Structure 1
């Protein structure tokens, strides 16, 4: 299935993954999905500040979504100093900002 909009993509899956250029792009996309994230898990892999993570967590919670904030610690396995980097991404880290 191909989705024409971010809201259609969010509505079609129980897991919504966001990995964009910056926080401004995240706010733009989240504004377009709004209620489509209700009952979903929203994972944001966009680099940002702790304040942005808390704001995204509040936004998700207000719409009935669970939120996980994370990011890539390096852009590609070739730049990762890990002796055996994973095939996709490198050194993925995450922080759950809200406990259920």
Structure 2
């Protein structure tokens, strides 16, 4: 896999761009399928996925994907802090809808 393929760009509805390691983005089943070269979607060749979520929501989704990736790869037996405390109540419904679509 080329170095450029190790990163994925997620683009929000309002044009903000977020870079994630491919391994972290694949924590979402939807993103994993979109980035699968065997399926042949344009997102797989460009490593860019445009999503219909505001940047504030997509930022939380990206933080969660990185959080989950780091927890799963750290191998630490320490207690993991609860991620839910990081979600502002005013964004919780939108984040829930995004996580449902992304299967994250």
TM-score by length of 2: 0.24
The higher-RCO structure (CA 8 Å, 6+ apart) is: 2
Q: Which has the higher strand share?
A: 1
- TM (norm. structure 1) is 0.25
